[in-house]
Amino acid sequence: MSNYNEEYYIIGMNNNGSQPHLDAENGSPDYYHKETVIEKPKKMKFKLGYPIPRKPKMVDYHPTPYTVISPKIQEIIENFNLKGVQLLPLVIKGKNDELYKDYKLIHIYKIIPALDKGKSDFKWVSNLNIANPIRRLRLKEKVLDEISLEDRLLFRLEENTVFELYHKKIVDAILATNPEGISFTKVSEWNIGSAFK
């Protein structure tokens, strides 16, 4: 029997103080909340988010809070031919107005109701129909058992779509490239304070 809490990971920063967050210019696009492929996507524009590091360094992963990835990580995602995942074009304006045009945003429209409400620690917000905050996450085995691995290698959690779940196969492939600025925390070891460790 699979232990999905050991097989899935949550993405995060591996920040040494120089890795910038990104902010969407002219407000955030609504792509992140779409549950379908984006037809003819427009190139989004991002800038460095505050506080801007003194010497910002562009690395392989930047939260916006959307997941923005470098060409190296893009290649891995493309090689898996993931269902329900689309890479969207963007351009990033740097601290000195330099432009980075080879990064892309991961649009994950594969949404799975995989929160194990009996074993997770969370607050249910009834008027929004979401779990927020989730203090400890556990995945529901029965739901994932019924979905083929190829259809759930990378997905977002229906109960709180901020959570992106990466299967170990993808994580291992990404880590094999020695990426900069990216970390993964196993679901079984993750808690609400993990991002600040």
Question: Which pLDDT does position 25 carry in this prediction?
Answer: 84
Question: Which pLDDT does position 7 carry in this prediction?
Answer: 98
pLDDT in tens, the chain (197 residues): 579 999 999 999 987 789 998 998 876 566 556 678 888 888 889 999 988 999 999 999 998 878 999 999 999 999 999 999 999 999 999 999 999 999 999 999 999 999 999 999 999 999 999 999 999 999 999 999 999 999 999 999 999 999 999 999 999 999 999 999 999 999 999 998 876 55
Residues whose CB falls within 8 Å of the CB of residue 25, separated by 6 or more in sequence, listed in order: 45, 46, 47, 93
pTM: 0.93
DSSP track, 44-101: EEEEEPSSPPSS----SEEESSSEEE-HHHHHHHHHHT-TTEEEEEEEEE-TTS-EE-
- H-helix or E-strand containing 8? strand 8-13
Report domain extents, the chain: 4-196
